[in-house]
């Protein structure tokens, strides 16, 4: 029973790393993003022009530069399969990523949507799970012109930094 409980706790901790990753990218919180990776980790977002394969510092710079072209991003997590073996684990997480890309040269904004899977080798060090090797697999993607907004401007709007209303909600009382 104790082993089964530990496995569930490990799986929950691993899933939370992925959720922190999504939050970090969507809010452009680079300290939070760094906390998801071990210092010697590799991120593989593809070996192509405009892709990135390499260490954490380079990946954060890749994200900083890449997200400058987005008005917003939303990473939505779906199915997660986690297999734990001691202090190592393998995880596959299905995700849908929405990117509102800022239009250039008078072009309208566009929406880029992708269905992807994150395939992760995880490692627990000093009691903390983090990515050791993350690979992104894109299953489908599409680009569409951004439609007119249906939401009134008076609605509370998210921001892509620590001014986002959710950061105020995360403050706990001591």
Where residue 46 falls (left for φ over 0; alpha for ψ -120 to 50; beta otherwise) is: left
Q: Which of the four pLDDT bands, split at 50, 70 and 90, describes residue 167?
A: confident
Q: Residue 113, CB half-sphere, CA atoms under 13 Å: how many? A: 7
Asked whether 56 and 43 are in contact (CB, 8 A), the reply is yes
- What is the chain's length? 174
pLDDT above 80 for 169: no
- Between CA 134 and CA 69 the distance in angstroms is 23
pLDDT of residue 148: 80
pLDDT above 90 for 138: yes
Task: Please give the CATH architecture assigned to the domain spanning 2-169.
Answer: Roll (3.10)
pLDDT of residue 174: 44
Domain locations in the chain as residue ranges: 2-169
Both structure tokens of 89: 């684990």
pLDDT above 50 for 146: yes
- Specify the pTM: 0.91
Neighbours of 30 (CB within 10 A): 14
- 140-153 mean pLDDT: 87
Both structure tokens of 29: 């919180």
Q: Which of the four pLDDT bands, split at 50, 70 and 90, describes residue 170?
A: low
What percent of the chain lies above the pLDDT cut of 70?
Answer: 97
- Between CA 166 and CA 38 the distance in angstroms is 26
Each residue of 8-33: pLDDT tens digit?
999 999 999 999 999 999 999 999 99
């Amino acid at each position: 029973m104790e082993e089964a409980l530990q496995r569930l706790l490990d799986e929950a901790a691993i899933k939370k790393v992925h959720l922190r990753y999504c939050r970090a990218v969507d809010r452009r919180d680079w300290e939070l993003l760094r906390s998801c990776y071990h210092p010697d980790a590799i991120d593989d977002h593809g070996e192509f022009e405009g892709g990135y394969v390499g260490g954490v510092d380079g990946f954060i710079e890749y994200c900083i530069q890449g997200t400058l072209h987005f008005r917003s991003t939303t990473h939505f997590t779906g199915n997660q399969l986690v297999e734990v073996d001691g202090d190592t684990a393998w995880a596959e997480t299905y995700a849908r990523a929405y990117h509102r890309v800022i239009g250039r040269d008078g072009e309208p904004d566009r929406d880029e949507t992708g269905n992807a899977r994150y395939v992760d080798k995880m490692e627990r060090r000093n009691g903390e799970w983090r990515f050791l090797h993350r690979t992104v697999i894109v299953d489908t993607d599409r680009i569409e012109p951004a439609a007119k907004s249906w939401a009134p401007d008076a609605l509370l709007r998210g921001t892509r930094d620590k001014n986002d209303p959710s950061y105020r909600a995360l403050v706990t009382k001591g």
